[in-house]
Amino acid sequence: MRDAFELRATDGMARVGRLTVPRAGVTVETPALMPVINPNIQTISPQRLHDEFGAEILITNSYIIRKTDDLRERALEEGLHEMLDFPGAIVTDSGSFQLAEYGEIDTTTTEILQFQHDIGSDIGTPVDIPTPPDVSHDQAAAELDRTEAALADAAAVDTGEMLVNAPVQGSTHLDLREEAGAHAAATDLDVFPVGAVVPLLNAYRYDDMVEVTAAAKRGLHADCPVHLFGAGHPMMFAQAAAIGCDLFDSAAYALYARDGRYLTVRGTEQLEDLSYLPCPCPVCAEHDPDSLRALDDRAKEEQLAAHNLHVTFAEIRRVRQAVREGTLLELVEERARAHPASADGYRALLNQNEQLEEHDRVSKGTFFYTSAESARRPEVLRHHERLARLETPSTMLLSEFGPPENHDYDAVWRVEPPFGPYPTSLSETYPLNAATPDHLEPPAYVAAADGIRSLVEANRKTAFTLGHDGWPDEALDAVPESVTLENLSDLGE
């Protein structure tokens, strides 16, 4: 049992939680954004991140600090909190990223973790091996052995109250990611970053990001706080949270600002290309694109970084609110419509609907059906599983309309896409109280037919009739042959 992490609310696999960071003497609300601080170049000061943007936690790189003489001396003397002037929690990375970029580094887990402890880090990181995507299974497995050895080395360092990261690697091999998750959860380390996803995110492979993260989560426990290492673009927070990520780190706000890039929850724009600033943050309220472009390079970079941070923190708050309301999948769906990469990520998320369904709470507010993909949501799957456990009398009408005036059926149930049949007594309960648009796409009817199949297969002795409002052929084809079909669309007019 990990008592440092407390779940406050859940929605599917997403959660709002509280991470207690004992060495900093603070608790951090999750999902949380950790701005990345480059100790050499600070576009926005840590104090400002805390006071103006509400950052409760940030992440910096102990390897860079250790290699830079004056930073090393100051960090050892004053401690990181004073050096950076930040009152919240400070996470330190180990140099693994430099290892992945440049092929080698001159330190070990034992040495760099001790150093992280000595400079006052609150959450330290061993030297894991960030195996890139698409390498052979042999290479990924061999490098995972080295990461697991680093976790053992880390566990052997006396780190006092400092929490320690246990990165989960395994490249794009899902079996390795799951095994790595289970191995990490079995250590007594504290926080669980899913590693080496940066190349996937940079290539907009959000579907692969969802798959490797879902695999890692299958190995981890629900009480493990999970960090998606290197994920800082706000357009993917909702879907990463939906698969169960609790911590994000953003270098993007500063790196993008340096290149004149303006973040939005729908993607990235070039300041050069904007005619308007479509954002209510203080930077965008006080400027227009021309006045931003007219600033000198430093001022422009600072303003863009501030805008990027406002957008990024706002999306984190939106995700938290959605989790508390039980509407996170609606937010994911909204984001998925804005960018093809998010659309791929959402599809991959829905492919995990059994894993999502296991974690989903039974009741929320109202299910909003907003696109054909809604038909694959875990609530629909759960309803179909439930239908397979319901018993029915000898003759039944399943109808999109109310019961006919005179009939001989033993029972009449409503049918509604995408759920399928349900007893009328459940019509006001979640998710059957769904709000659906007047026009539905064929996948919604096919999903309803799948629901009918579930019920029919569990009740072979019942004679079923389906009264439908002109369903498309592909849905009628999915209804079991034993069901009598009646097209009642004339009634609907």
Q: Is the peptide bond before 167 cis (omega within 30 degrees of 0)?
A: no
Contact map string, positions 63 to 102, toward ligand GUN, x by CB under 6 A: ------------------------------xx-xx-----
Of 31, 120, 230, 467, which one interacts with ligand GUN (CB under 6 A)?
A: 230
Least CB distance to ligand GUN at residue 197 (A): 7
Question: Is the Cβ of residue 169 or residue 239 nearer to ligand GUN in the bound state?
Answer: 169
Calculated CA dihedral for residues 359, 361, 365, 367, nearest 10 degrees: 40
Contact map string, positions 306 to 345, toward Zn ion, x by CB under 5 A: -x--------------------------------------
Beta bridge partners of 248: 33, 228
Closest by Cα among 33, 335, 350, 345 to 204: 345
The tokens describing 57, both together, are 């936690």
Q: Is 281 in the site for Zn ion (CB under 5 A)?
A: yes
The enclosing H or E element of 398 equals: strand 395-399
DSSP annotation string for 6-67: EEEEEETTEEEEEEEETTTTEEEEESEEEEEEBTTB-SS-HHHHHHTT---EEEEEHHHHHH
Q: What are the angstrom distances between the C-alpha of 298 and each of 44, 221, 223, 372?
A: 11, 45, 43, 46
Catalytic-role residue among 11, 51, 93, 175: 93
Q: Is 195 in the site for ligand GUN (CB under 6 A)?
A: yes
Q: Which does 284 bind (CB under 5 to 8 A by kind): ligand GUN, Zn ion, none?
A: Zn ion
- The question of whether 93 is a catalytic residue gets the answer yes
Q: How far is residue 208 CA from its own chain's centroid?
A: 13
Least CB distance to ligand GUN at residue 129 (A): 8
Q: Which does 281 bind (CB under 5 to 8 A by kind): Zn ion, ligand GUN, none?
A: Zn ion
Question: Is the Cβ of residue 125 or residue 352 nearer to ligand GUN in the bound state?
Answer: 125
The tokens describing 390, both together, are 């319901």
Q: Which does 214 bind (CB under 5 to 8 A by kind): Zn ion, ligand GUN, none?
A: none
Buried b (16+ CB within 10 A) or exposed e, 33-47: bbbbbebeebbbebe
Q: Of 38-46, 194-202, 282-290, 402-410, which part binds ligand GUN (CB under 6 A)? A: 194-202
Let me know: does 225 contact 307? Beta carbons within 8 Å. Answer: no
Residues that bind ligand GUN (CB under 6 A): 93-94, 96-97, 125, 128, 130, 167, 195-196, 198, 229-230
Chain residues in the site for Zn ion (CB under 5 A): 279, 281, 283-284, 307
Residues acting as catalytic residues: 93
